[in-house]
Structure 1
Amino acid sequence: MTGWTWEYEGYDPAEARLRESLCTLGNGYFATRGALPECTADEVHYPGTYAAGCYNRLTSRVAGRRVENEDMVNLPNWLPLRFRLPGGAWLTPDTADVLEHREILHLAPGLFERMTRYDLGEGRTLTVRQERLVHMADPHMAALRTEFTAQRYAGPLEVEAALDGTVTNAGVARYRDLDGRHLTHVHSGIADAGTVWLRCRTRTSDIRIALAARLLADSPVSMRKDNGRAVHHTRLHLTPGHTVTVDKLVALHTSRDPAISDPLHAAVDRVGRVDGWAALVASHRTAWGQLWRRGELDVPGEAGTILRLHLFHVLQTLSPHTADLDVGVPARGLHGEAYRGHVFWDELFVLPYLNLHFPEVSRALLHYRYRRLERARTAARDAGRRGAMYPWQSGSDGREETQQLHLNPRSGRWMPDHTHLQHHVGSAIAYNVWQYCEASGDTEFLHTKGAEMLLQISRFWADAAEYDPHLGRHHIRGVVGPDEYHDAYPDADRPGLDDNAYTNVTAAWVLAHTIDVLRSLPEPRRRELDERTGLDAGELDHWEEVSRTLHIPFHDGVISQFEGYGDLEELDWHGYRKQYGDIRRLDRILEAEGDTVNRYQASKQADVLMLGYLFSPAELQALFGRLGHSLDEHIWRRTVDYYLHRTSHGSTLSGLVHGWVLARDRRAEAWAFCQEALQGDIADIQGGTTGEGIHLGAMAGTLDLVQRGLPGLETRNGALRLNPVPLPELSSYGFTIRYHGHWGVRLRLESGRLEIEVPASGPGPIDVRLPDRTARLQPGETGHLPLTD
């Protein structure tokens, strides 16, 4: 890697899928994996194209049961472009001798370049160089430029380009027992002006999809329809040392798009109006330049390059184009089929970054949740609860999409999946509403859709809380926390755990903040909300009581992950590491042995420690104080130590959270976890998972670590609050944020000094609060504030 490029040298089939994920190109509307255009889907390669929010539901028979799953659909493949000498086999790196191979992701302009030199025998070679883009200015366009250069060969070269509608969802091996045939009614045809087209629809969601393509070459181009494919064919004439160029231009539309009447007409019309490769590249570069300015992050060295790659993939999944769509935050981006493209709680890690750069995107993602509020209320009613119970996994319409079974690749057994009991996702949504409004100053959203979501989530928590007269406190029973390893008590006949500390503390936070929001509403709006929801003063009094009496279990002087956690057996961590090496997926190891992680004090990822990620030390102490507990530094440090030695880090989010928490007082240990978070996808730390899609929450979380974690940046009560943490490994960095109408507030921390530059065009002064003083900066003013360690 260099500062602005990501490069791979040599052809390595074992690494192909990892590279394809990390070289994905997208624009927030759709994305295409970095597969080689001459290669088809097989055990090595997996070309995939995914449009945000394009889902389909199918039923399969698995382990003797009918299982229904909704998947993000692998759309028709627009990439195919293959080539051969007349009468010869089509050339691919898997079937021909490769003398040289290179893949380069150019981050600044958003281009993917590949170069392969094939050995044609008898001293003859063919160099193939390609550049690819998924257009960031026009979200419906993509293009591929291919340059062929022969040495010691003169003669024809056959080139075939296609739109392929025969694809299926087959990118994740453990899902292959499930039906992946999502496309039907595949038709292809030929339009005027050298354009071919392909249209189809999804089998149950009935989304119509259309692609149109033009092939530009210096030789005649023919067109044909071919069994679910639309094909261009040309015959180039090569001479030694002379480069011949072929451009493939593609447009993609679906029936979910606004302002069109028919996807096929829109795609054919759009691709026919494009001036060519040069014009596309120019506007594409301009759009990317604007994104980089708004998301500016200046971090030196290797960490800075990795952070740019992470930002690149966040923006390809959630760009300003996303603001026009009804979509959520897919946990694995638009980069692959893992988790079936579902929406979990990852906006908890993604929105804090977007709030301060692209608040319009954050608002759209919160609208996705608001539009599904009624579905969440229906789920609560079906469970015998009031309020809104948001699903752990969401897709098109907001119903619970968590799988009923999951496959353990170690044992080959399908196991029941109880992670739908992670009701803490509702608290995450409420937290995201609050954080967005604090960072953006969007009181209109807070007083309308935001307040309504907060109210219904609070109503659910208050109804779920059961009063214990002996203890004088409320319990929340039958849940699963962020840990995920523990979904039941040992030998229990029902799933779920009682009084998960993270769930209860965040529920108390939601209740308390909702009360504050409702009390601050303008009187007419408050009356409207009361009338719509049937809220009365007695219900608010109940919320106030529950917010102060939710039970938080402790054992051995530390916060218990859940009631009874301290009674579980200790695991032989040394023995398991010695036997298996990598024990991140300890749950799979134990299940394959006929055991269960439910018996042990062993966590997949940060659970209790997530509280230190969400809340500053002062906020966390105040929260526990409201709940009747004293949480001093000694108790918190003991708690951190306790779980630090009992966590296997089976999630890419775990290292991020641990690094964030430890940065406050254990700086030497913090950097090791920060490094793990940075390396998670590029080194494929989870062992083969990155090839199925990047981990978007972890990538965005590393950006937020620099933006909020290390500077201690909070947007609270109308001020920028900073309490920087000096890490020796990252002692100098800067970034730009958008805050309360100010476009481009620049912050830089270096050599014990904080510099803040407020743009001259800002609407008013900015209050900056450090632990020991306060400053007010006027538009056009730059503040230089010395820091104390």
Structure 2
Amino acid sequence: MTVWTWQYEGYNPLDERVRESLCVLGNGYLATRGALPECTADDVHHPGTYVAGCYNRLTSRVAGRQVENEDMVNLPNWLPLRFRLAGQEWLTPDTQAVLDHRQVLHLSSGMLERRTRYGLGGGRALSVRQLRIAHMADPHLAALRTELTAEGFDGVLEVEAALDGGVANTGVARYRDLAGRHLVHVHSGTTAPDTVWLRCRTRTSDIRIGLASRLTADAPVTSEHPHPRAVQRVSLDLAAGRTATVDKVVALHTSRDPAISDPLCAAIARVAEAPGFDALLVPHRTAWDQLWRRTGLDVSGEAGRILRLHLFHVLQTLSPHTADLDVGVPARGLHGEAYRGHVFWDELFVLPYLNLHFPEVSRALLHYRHRRLERARAAARAIGRRGALYPWQSGSDGREETQELHLNPRSGRWLPDNSRLQRHVGSAVAYNVWQYSEASGDAEFLHTKGAEMLLQIARFWADSATWDENLSRHRIRGVVGPDEYHDAYPDAREPGLDDNTYTNVTAAWVLTRTLDVLRTLPEPRRRELVERTELDEGELERWEEVSRTLHVPFHDGVISQFDGYGDLAELDWDGYRERYGDIRRLDRILEAEGDTVNRYQASKQADVLMLGYLFPPDELRFLFGRLGHSLDDDTWRRTVDYYLSRTSHGSTLSGLVHSWVLARARRTGAWEFFQEALRGDIADLQGGTTGEGIHLGAMAGTLDLVQRGLTGLETRDGTLRLDPAPLPELSSYGFAIRYQGHWGVRLTLEHGSLQIAVPSSDRSPIDIRMADRAVPLEPGETCLLLLRD
């Protein structure tokens, strides 16, 4: 491998799902898994093509109940292209001898290359080379080039290409008992000798889908239309040592696309106008070159190579094309069907990175949340609260999509799913509104849509807080924190926990920040907002009071994850590791034993420590001080160590957060957790989950750890603040950012120094702040700052 390639050697059916996820090609609009075109969906392979925001809802019967789920739809498969010697069986790596097999993901150009040599017996072989792209310049196009070379024989090779509308969502084994056939009314036809089309629609959401495929070869192309496919065939006369080439160019549109009349007509027109494969590569490569320049990541070694892969997948899921769409951040990218393609809180780990490179994409993702603000307000009203309650899982229209039951594959039991009580997702939305505004300088957004979201989220938190006379504190009861393992007290009849520290502190931050924003709004805008939302001074006074009196529990000199956490039993960690080895999913292990993790001081992932991820030390001290607590360094370090020894890391986000926090708290262990975060998907550390889709939040988070975590980079109060805490293993690297209209600001961290270069422009100077100095940096200037130990 090189720093710009990701390569797999040999064919192993057990590895295919992971390879398919990590070899996805996408462009922010659509993405296609890295499945082999001659293979169909089965227990080994799962070809899948997904369009951002394309959802459908189906009802299934589970454990005697009718359960409704909304899924990101697996759209018609455009990949199929298979081949065989005339009159013989189709060649696949599962049925034919494979002499050599290699897949190479070319990160620089967004291209997947595949080489396979099939043994045909008698010294004969067929060499197959394929190049595949999801076009980054025209997001509705994809293309596949297949080069076929006969070795040791002359003969006729039959090639069949297809558009397959008979697909289903079968990519996640534990969902297969649920309804997964989302496509109906599949029809196909031919528009030209070399072009076929297929149209269909989703069963419930009634999204119309149109595909058109043009096949080019050095032989006549014929077509037929066995339902539910559109098939093209060509017979190639192969001569030993000679290569025949077949090119397949595909266009895809849906009725959600702007500026089209009909998706099928648009697809047919687009594929007719598309140039050949070689010409398509030119703008595609140019688009990728521009993306890499705008991100400008330069990290050496194996860490740098993995970070570049992570960035590649972030860009394929959330590209500049995403800015034109009404979509959120899918937790598993556009890479598979896990989590049903839903939008969780993962934007909390993604937008801080995007803000400093593609602020237009961040703004669009926040628009997704704003468009669903009324739905969030309805959800709050449904539980008797004011304000906005954003759902833990969101899909097409912003209603709560969290499943009511989930399957424990270890025990085979369907269990109640209480994760919808993770109401802290609203604080994540508010946090991203503020972070985006600070990084971009987009006051217009903050003063309009941003202020509206902040106000309604703050209103929800204030209305959720109840006064406790015994504590003389406000409390937020009946929630679930980021940990996710704990959803109830032991033996409790009702789910929910009281005073989750992460929830309460972030709620206090939302209230405080919203009050600040309202004070600084231009008076005409403030008046409009107050009138429309019926906001009065009494409500603002309550916000101020609640923001200072929310209860934060402590025990044994450390911050409690929630009220009563310190009363739970200690777990025999060594015993469980000895019995089970990998105990990341401790909740499933204990449930299968007839026990529950609710009884123990055991966390799935960082919960309290998430506060150290979100807030720099001085801001976290300020928040605790405002709540009446002194948070000194010793208390925070004790808290970090306490939860570090009680966390199973059952989430890919856990290693990332612990690395970030440890880099600031004591450095020891930070690099090891960073390595785990880097390897989460490439090594499939969660045991089979990567094959169901990558973990986008963890991938973006590793990039942001390098960008903000180790440099202490903050965009606050119109200044660019820096407080470097480089790890010894990663003390020299560089990257470019886009900050408040300055494109390509370059930061280079070397041993003991930080260089900042601002490109020439007509913008105002950048105010650089460090703990011991302030430096105004004019466009066109470079400064070198020596770091102090």
Tell me, in whole angstroms, the C-alpha distance in 1 between the residues paired with 2:677 and 2:699: 8
Q: Is this contact kept in 2: 1:743–1:762, CA < 8 A?
A: no
Give the match for residue 191 of structure 2: 191
**Is 1:76 the counterpart of 2:98 in the alignment?**
no
- SS of alignment partner, residue 376 of structure 1: helix
2:692 aligned partner: 692
Aligned to 2:210: 210
Post-superposition offset of 1:192: 2.4
**2:737 is the alignment partner of 1:737:** yes
8 A Cα contact 1:571 1:600, kept in partner: yes
| Distance in 2 separating the partners of 1:740 and 1:341 | 32
Conserved in 2, the CA contact under 8 Å of 1:323 and 1:360? yes
Shift in Å, 1:470: 2.2
Q: Which residue of 2 aligns with 1:139?
A: 139
Q: Is the 8 A contact 1:742 1:762 kept in 2?
A: no
Cα distance between partner residues in 1 of 2:380 and 2:119:
63
Structure 2 alignment gaps of length 5 or more: none
Percent of residue pairs bearing the same amino acid type: 78
> What is the alpha-carbon distance in structure 2 between the residues aligned to residue 399 and residue 527 of structure 1?
30
The residue matched to 1:334 in structure 2 has which SS? Answer: coil
Distance 1:15 1:426 in 2: 38
**2:326: which partner in 1?**
326
Q: Which runs of 4+ in 1 moved over 4 A?
A: none
The aligned counterpart of 1:707 is: 707
Contact 2:722 2:770 in 1 (8 A): yes
Post-superposition shift, 1:227? 1.3
| 1:418 is the counterpart of 2:414 | no
Distance 2:4 2:704 in 1: 20
1:628 corresponds in structure 2 to 628
Code of the residue aligned with 2:651 in structure 1: it is S
State the Cα distance separating 1:31 from its structure 2 match: 0.2
**Partner deviation per Cα, 1:533-554 (whole Å, 9 max, x = no partner):** 0001111000000000000000
Match of 1:675 in 2: 675
Residue number in structure 1 paired with 2:266? 266
2:104 is the alignment partner of 1:95: no
The match for 1:121 is 121
Task: Give the Cα–Cα distance (whole angstroms) in 2 for the partners of residues 449 and 314 of structure 1.
Answer: 25
Counterpart AA for 1:294: R
Q: Is contact 1:741–1:762 with CA below 8 Å preserved after alignment?
A: no
Shift of 1:403: 0.3
**Secondary structure in 1 aligned to 2:701?**
helix
Cα displacement (A) at 1:226? 1.0
1:764 is displaced (CA, Å) by: 1.3
Distance (whole Å) between structure 1 residues aligned to residue 17 and residue 590 of structure 2: 28
Q: Secondary structure at the match of 2:668?
A: helix
Q: Matched residue of 1:148: which SS?
A: strand
Q: CA separation in 1, counterparts of 2:732 and 2:526?
A: 47
CA contact (8 A) 1:501 1:553 kept: yes
AA at the equivalent of 2:295: G
> Residue 42 of structure 1 corresponds to which residue in structure 2?
42
Partner AA of 1:215 in structure 2: L
Q: Supply the distance in 1 between the matched residues of 2:585 and 2:517 (Cα, whole angstroms).
A: 41
Kindly report which structure 2 residues correspond to 1:217-236, keeping only aligned pairs within 5 A, or say none: 217-236=217-236
Distance in 2 between residues matched to 1:379 and 1:496, nearest whole Å: 17
Equivalence for 1:506: 506
How is 1:16-35 mapped onto 2 (pairs within 5 angstroms)? 16-35=16-35
Q: Deviations over 1:362-412 (max 9, x none)?
A: 000000000000000000001100000000000000000000000000000
Tell me what 2:539 maps to.
539
Shift of 1:741: 0.5
Matches within 5 A, 1:151-166: 151-166=151-166
1:785 aligned residue: 785
- 2:299 and 2:734 in contact (8 A); partners too: yes
8 Å CA contact 2:343, 2:395 repeated in 1: yes
1:665 Cα deviation after fit: 3.3
Secondary structure (helix, strand or coil) at the match of 1:680 reads helix
Q: 1:317 Cα shift?
A: 0.3
Q: What is the aligned partner in structure 1 of residue 251 from structure 2? A: 251
Show the counterpart of 2:201. Answer: 201
CA distance in 1, matches of 2:86, 2:375: 58
Contact 2:222–2:234, Cα closer than 8 Å, also in 1 = yes
The answer on whether the counterparts of 1:55 and 1:395 sit within 8 Å (CA) in structure 2 is: yes
1:28–1:321 CA contact under 8 A, matched in 2: yes
Matches within 5 A, 1:491-530: 491-530=491-530
* Structure 1: stretches of 5+ with no match in the other structure: none
User: Which residue identity does 1:642 align to in structure 2?
Assistant: Y
TM-fit CA distance, 1:193 = 4.9
Q: What is the CA distance between 1:296 and its match in structure 2?
A: 1.0
CA contact (8 A) 2:193 2:222 kept: no
Cα separation, 2, equivalents of 1:477 and 1:317 = 36
Q: Which residue is equivalent to 1:617?
A: 617
Structure 2 equivalent of residue 764 of structure 1: 764
Determine the structure 2 residue equivalent to 1:552: 552
SS at match of 1:668: coil
Paired with 2:741 and 2:381, the residues of 1 have a C-alpha distance of: 40
Deviations 1:246-284 (A, max 9, x none): 000000000000000000000000000111001111110
Q: Which amino acid is the alignment partner of residue 217 of structure 2?
A: A
Q: Distance in 2 between matches of 1:568 and 1:589?
A: 18
Whether 1:585 and 2:585 are equivalent positions in the alignment is: yes
Q: CA deviation at 1:560?
A: 0.3
Letter in structure 2 aligned against 1:32:
T
- Residue 726 of structure 1: CA displacement? 2.1
What is the CA-CA distance between 1:2 and the residue it aligns to? 1.6
- 2:54 maps to 1:54: yes
What's the CA shift for 1:666? 2.4
**Does 1:11 find its partner at 2:35?**
no
Q: Equivalents in 2 of 1:577, 1:209: separation in Å?
A: 49
- The alpha-carbon deviation at position 731 of structure 1 amounts to 1.1
- 2: CA distance between counterparts of 1:204 and 1:665? 51
Query: How far apart are the structure 2 equivalents of 1:401 and 1:682?
Result: 29
What is the identity, as a one-letter code, of the residue corresponding to 2:343? V
1:347-496 map, 5 Å: 347-496=347-496
Distance 1:751 1:640 in 2: 28
The count of residues paired between Structure 1 and Structure 2 equals 789
Deviation string 1:62-89 (CA, Å, 9 cap, x unpaired) is 0000000000000000000000001110
- Give the whole-Å Cα distance in 1 for the aligned partners of 2:193 and 2:356: 45
Q: Which residue of 2 aligns with 1:337?
A: 337
Q: State the shift of 1:762 in Å.
A: 4.6
For 1:264 and 1:735, the matched residues in 2 are separated by 42
- Distance in 2 of aligned mates of 1:551 and 1:275: 64
Name the residue aligned to 1:63. Answer: 63
- How far is 1:761 from its partner? 1.4
Structure 2 residue identity aligned to 1:379: A
Counterparts of 2:39 and 2:242, CA distance in 1: 25
Amino acid at match of 1:85: L
RMSD: 0.5
The DSSP-based 3-state class of the residue aligned with 1:126 is: strand
- Is the 2:485–2:604 contact (alpha carbons within 8 Å) kept by the matching residues of 1? yes
CA distance in 1, matches of 2:512, 2:551: 15
SS of the equivalent of 2:519 reads helix
Contact 2:165-2:198 at 8 Å conserved across structures:
yes
